[in-house]
Amino acid sequence: MFWSLHAGTSTIDTLLSSEEGFTLEQLLDEDVLKHLVPILNSEEVQEVVTYVLNALGNFACSPIMWPTLQKMNAIEGVASFLMHETDREDTLLNVMFTLANFTADPVQRQWMMQKKTYELVWKQMQHPNYHIMQYSLTVLRGLAVETSA
């Protein structure tokens, strides 16, 4: 199952707790992130990477996932997509979505500030896709809580 950014879907917490009794704790126990995060740096089909970004963005909303995401350096894999131009708006949209949700985690937020990720995000503020602009603004707003911002 893949999660979407679009209307008509719920947060991952709602989806996972309602389907066959899965919970985020169970997914952590099954090392789901161990299988997803490496896909960011693989030669997978871009559509697969886009879905992985979306899933990671949903996981980033949950504090229970933060330590594992931090340990696996998931933020580096996600942020690396900003360094490379992509023709796929859906990939860029999911990168921004995931980064926006990472700003809820103080450790990830500080990493983004240290790496000056905001400079790369700022460039997307004039993207022709309104949704990419919106998520870029959400990333910047999330980073703005840092005193160094």
Judge whether residue 129 has pLDDT over 90.
Answer: yes
State the average pLDDT over residues 30-54. Answer: 85
Q: 63-91: per-residue pLDDT in tens?
A: 999 999 999 999 999 999 998 877 789 99
Q: How far apart are CA 24 and CA 26, in angstroms?
A: 5
Query: pTM of the full predicted structure?
Result: 0.82
Per-residue confidence (pLDDT) for residue 22, from 0 to 100: 60
Regarding predicted confidence, which is higher, 68 or 14? 68
Per-residue confidence (pLDDT) for residue 27, from 0 to 100: 76
Per-residue confidence (pLDDT) for residue 9, from 0 to 100: 42
Mean pLDDT, all residues of the chain? 84
Per-residue confidence (pLDDT) for residue 30, from 0 to 100: 74
Which amino acid belongs to residue 109? R
